[in-house]
Amino acid sequence: MPLKKDADKDVYFMSEALKEADAAFEEDETPVGACIIHEGKIIAKAHNQVELLKDPTAHAEMIAITQAAAHLKNWRLEGCTLYVTKEPCLMCSGAIFMSRVPRLVFGAMDEAAKGLRDLIHPGYESSLREMEIMGGVLADPCQKILKEFFKKVRGKSGN
């Protein structure tokens, strides 16, 4: 399917990240999905696997970054775009910056943690390299799956 406009590409690739979030939901993981694009092709796809791997760093973004670096045989992910269904936490934001991803597109804002927004808070931005950041792409479905998941989790715990 040829995609001409950046907005069309963003919606298409965020839809792919949402498929990963759906997989996480089915595995009782916090439903966050990510994919990394290089030269118009998906080179990495991942979803949260914190519970499965018993690893607090097994966020979708971290796994996708590792996959993309292996694919490119380079830790510098220059020329890539990372799509993630939820605003990255502080840990993932650091990894995104360190891996040199030049463009980040995310869906739902994280109103509780604000990790990415904390990292680019006034005073820090002068020490960070330039990165294009776009939030709110398919925000409604990205937020909806998170709300459904946490409603399900609260139902299981009896809270």
> Mean pLDDT score of the chain, rounded to an integer?
89
| Cα–Cα distance, 38 to 85 (Å, whole number) | 18
Segment 77-89, tens digit of pLDDT: 999 999 999 999 9
pLDDT value at position 12?
A: 97
| Cα–Cα distance, 19 to 117 (Å, whole number) | 25
Q: Are 22 and 16 in contact (CB under 8 A)?
A: no
> Is 35 or 156 the better-scoring residue by pLDDT?
35
pLDDT value at position 7?
A: 82
Order of strands, sheet of 103-108, starting from the edge strand that comes earlier in the sequence: 41-47, 33-38, 80-86, 103-108, 132-134
> Could you list the active site residues?
61
> Is 18 or 130 the better-scoring residue by pLDDT?
18
Model pTM above 0.85: yes
